[in-house]
Amino acid sequence: MKKITYSLFLISALFGANVWAQYSAETDVATLQQAAEQGDAEAQFYLGVSYDNKQDYANALHWYNLAARQEMPAAQFNLGYMYELGQGVEQSYHTAVKFYKSAAEQHLPQAQYQLAHMYMEGKGLRQDVNIAMTWLENAAEAGYPAAQYDLAMHYYKGLNFKQDYAKALQWFNKAGEQNYARAQFSLGLMYQTGTGVQQSDAKALDWYGKAAAQNYAPAQLNLGALYEQGKGVKVDLPKAKKLYGDACDNGDQRGCDYYKDLNQKGI
């Protein structure tokens, strides 16, 4: 989970391209301050982000609150984040839920996703798996890749749904096509093992490759194994060794072990 910051994609999606044309990451603080003091909600939000990035949480909280009172969902979400983590404020799951819900009801997928987790874990409210899944589905349908991945995992493992590999594949694909590394890895695993799909080392290689390019260690490890074993590709031990080394560098001890093994064999 991340706060909403100066992302062109996010801002355009949330407020429309016209807002980005009005304010951008390069807008100077003085200009933002003037507009914010005149009650411009977008400027208040951007000014809050500016202070947030400097870890000046008191001022960030002030401007987020002003924007949130004008029903700006991104500001409400960031306030929820601050209260959930106790960042610059006393931690309060109850208050976090209030802000997440306000933003979620305005169809902000990040807030819908986080609200789903609050319901799932019973943080700040009574645990309710059914409501959690409804919000998770809403976020996934809105195109939020983290929600699509989580929904896919529920279908894949049969959690709160009947196990359904076809639906798992559908949602993994949606997230994977948005370059979500964990979903790409899961697609690679489904194709490598033939789980719910026709087994295909070539497709596994493709999906693992996409996730590995994002430094996702489990994908680097499995891709290395395919190159070492010549599955879906010609045997390439130097390539396998490099991938194992990459996985090791990204914190996977197995990658370290496999790299060492190939190194001792003179690869």
pLDDT over 70, % of the chain: 90
pLDDT value of position 8:
34
Among the candidates 164, 188, 205, a domain finishes at 164
> Is residue 79 in a domain?
yes
Which of 5-14, 95-104, 184-193, 243-252 has the weakest average pLDDT? 5-14
* CATH number of the domain where residue 214 is located: 1.25.40.10
Over residues 133-151, mean pLDDT: 97
> Is residue 173 in a domain?
no
Domain that holds residue 55: 1-91
Does residue 23 carry a pLDDT above 70? no
> How many domains is the chain partitioned into structurally?
3
Q: Could you tell me if 85 and 1 lie in one domain?
A: yes
Q: Is there a contact between 238 and 227 (Cβ–Cβ < 8 Å)? A: no
Per-residue DSSP letter, 162: -
Q: Band of the pLDDT at 6, cuts 50, 70, 90?
A: very low
Q: Could you tell me if 188 and 253 lie in one domain?
A: yes
Q: Could you tell me if 226 and 142 lie in one domain?
A: no
> Is residue 174 in a domain?
no
Helix (H) or strand (E) holding 250: none
**The one-letter amino acid at 228:** E
pLDDT value of position 15:
45
User: Considering the chain, what is the average pLDDT of its residues?
Assistant: 91
> Is residue 170 in a domain?
no
Helices and strands counted in the chain (H then E): 16, 0
